[in-house]
Amino acid sequence: AVVRQGLGGAGMKQTMFRNQLAVRLVVYSLLIGSVLSVFSTGLQLLISFRHQKVEAANVLDQIDQALTQSLEFALWRMDFTQVDVILSGLAAYEVFSHLELRSSTGERWERGTRIGSDLTRTYELVHTGSNRTAEPVGTLTVEVSLDSVVARVWDQFWVTFQTNLVKAYLAAIALLFVAHKLLPGHIRKIAAHV
């Protein structure tokens, strides 16, 4: 009876030791997984923000290639209805916070609100006539808002962060399962050698 009690106490100690060890493994893996998740998500956030900022700057290049000639021609012909249509089309893009067009004859159009963004570009609108003379017809100033870019990046951040946390917790549960299945066998071998 004394021997059984001693073995029963050792078995209980083994179970407590195994549970404490398994819990420690899970807690540490959760902590490490959470830290790595925050770090990797932050890195992805930074890369995504830079990429989307470059895309916003590319939109400014596309304006230069696609719309300045249309605006130049409309201003040259004083077709202010067409100018309104072009500016309204530009203002529909959420990436633009402010548009301002000033013609060389004194007319002025404005869309949106000025926010003082660092992504602002001014286009000199020059009409080249049939005799190859270039005449300035106006100036278009476009200001890009990074608010929509930042909002998209934060949305990506939360989705990625939650996904990484779920992965970390699933890994911790798997580790806990493995610890409960594998550790008792090793502890029994150690106890047998002792």
Of all residues in the chain, the percent with pLDDT exceeding 70 is 85
Lowest average pLDDT, out of 40-49, 58-67, 85-94, goes to 58-67
pLDDT of residue 189 exceeding 50, the answer is yes
Integer-rounded Cα Rg, in Å, for the chain is 33
Lowest average pLDDT, out of 64-68, 125-129, 150-154, 181-185, goes to 181-185
Which amino acid type is present at position 20? Answer: Q
What dihedral do alpha carbons 158, 161, 162, 168 form, nearest 10°? 180
* Tokens describing residue 52: 């989307």
Query: Tell me, what's the pLDDT at 108?
Result: 92
Query: Tell me, what's the pLDDT at 74?
Result: 87
Of all residues in the chain, the percent with pLDDT exceeding 90 is 3
Task: Calculate mean pLDDT across residues 90-107.
Answer: 85
Query: Tell me, what's the pLDDT at 19?
Result: 61
* Tokens describing residue 88: 């309204």
* Tokens describing residue 116: 């003082």
What dihedral do alpha carbons 73, 105, 93, 85 form, nearest 10°? -60
pLDDT of residue 5 exceeding 50, the answer is no
Task: Calculate mean pLDDT across residues 23-37.
Answer: 77
Backbone angles phi, psi at 22, to 5 degrees: -65, -45
Q: Helix, strand, or coil here: 98? A: strand
**CB burial class (10 A; 0-12, 13-18, 19+) of residue 71?**
buried
Interval 129-151: pLDDT, tens: 777 788 888 999 888 877 777 77
Q: What is the pTM of this model?
A: 0.56
Q: How confident is the model at residue 76 (pLDDT cuts 50, 70, 90)?
A: confident
pLDDT of residue 22 exceeding 70, the answer is no
- Quote the mean pLDDT of the chain: 77
Using CA atoms, how far apart are residues 91 and 169, in angstroms rounded to an integer? 45
Using CA atoms, how far apart are residues 108 and 96, in angstroms rounded to an integer? 18
Query: Tell me, what's the pLDDT at 1?
Result: 41
Query: Tell me, what's the pLDDT at 7?
Result: 44
